[in-house]
Amino acid sequence: MRKTIILLVLCMISGGLLKAQMRIGNDRRVNLSKVVSMGVKFGVNDAMMKYTEGDLKELNPTYSIKPSFGVYLEIPVMSWLSVSPELMYVGRGTMYSYETKNTPVDFRIDSRYVDFRVPVEFYLQISRTFKPFAFVAPDFGYVLGGYISQKTQDATEEIEIGSANMKEYDISALFGLGFRFDVYMPKTALYVKLTAGYNYGLLDTYSRMEKNESAVSGNANAYNISGDRYNRGMEVMISIGMPFYRETGSCSNFRKSSSW
């Protein structure tokens, strides 16, 4: 139920974004960097998990590409600085293929999170329409669910992710680089951002019940639960944003100004 509610909230916010009025007109003096904007972003996360002890610590994970998407609000602070709080759906996990006792094993964690992030973006003004930038953000994640599976030639074991085998929340640091392209047209304006970032998990994702052995984990055969396990991941994202602007009414908040 909680997964459905969160996804509905994302859809409602996205729908509101599409209905937001944006009246730039023919005044090409409008500077997108000086108005609050709303946007959508989507991309992929090359997810993995870092183990500090156990058998999986010595192995290299295989590629585990997960979807990531959400909505955000970009708030300019200075010409070179913006704050962009965002609500994201993020796929995480890891995947290993190895051999034990001459038996091939595919071990996989597919976890789903809803994240609240607050990126701080530092821009370098190359031109009016092109700006590279660096960003850093605290990231607070909450587990929606997922599966842990272990597949061999003889059998496949799969359990649902819950409080018995995954910590319900995560905190991480996100940092990276990007490019922003402002696009001005006769009656509208928008911008596109391309970013690549690394998400560095700071909390052990093993649950307390796993650590104190009050719950039997379905993945215990794959490694010894004696160390810590952290989320990691390289994210590549595309963002599309528009000024949050209303032309008339008492709720109008952004208007054209000759100072722009």
The residue among 195, 198, 199, 176 whose CA lies nearest residue 240 is 195
Q: How far apart are CA 67 and CA 7, in angstroms?
A: 14
Q: What is the pLDDT of residue 259?
A: 37
Phi, psi of 117 (to 5 degrees): -125, 155
Instruction: Please give the angle made by the CA atoms of 48, 67 and 70, to the nearest 5 degrees.
Output: 120
pLDDT of residue 246: 45
Report pLDDT for 79. 87
The one-character DSSP state at 134 is E
Note whether residue 250 is domain-resident: no
> How far is CA 212 from each of CA 50, 74, 167, 168, 215, rounded to the nearest angstrom?
20, 43, 13, 16, 8
DSSP track, 26-84 = T-TT--GGGS-EEEEEEEEEEEEEEESSSGGGGSPPPP-EEEEEEEEEEEEEETTEEE-
For residues 193 and 74, give the distance between their C-alpha atoms in angstroms, rounded to a whole number: 12
Distance CA(119)–CA(73), nearest Å, equals 10
Please indicate, yes or no, if residue 251 is contained in any of the structural domains.
no
pLDDT at 8: 53
Query: CATH number, domain at 202?
Result: 2.40.160.20
Q: How far is CA 40 from CA 71, 91, 217, in A?
A: 4, 17, 37
Q: Give how far Cα 136 sits from Cα of 7, 10, 18, Å.
A: 25, 23, 27
Number of domains in the chain: 1
For 23-79, the pLDDT digits (tens) are 444 444 567 888 899 999 999 999 999 999 877 888 888 889 999 999 999 999 998
Cα separation, 189 vs 245, in Å, equals 11
Measured CA distances, 11 to 42, 75, 88, 113, 206 (Å): 14, 22, 11, 16, 31
248 domain-assigned? no
Separation CA 95–CA 61 (nearest Å): 6
Amino acid at 193: K
Give the residue ranges of the chain where pLDDT is below 50.
13-28, 220-223, 246-260
* Residue that the structure tokens 């605290």 belong to: 138
Q: 187 lies in which domain range?
A: 2-243
Q: Would you say 220 and 209 are in contact if contact means Cβ atoms under 8 Å apart? A: no
Task: Specify the pLDDT at position 16.
Answer: 47
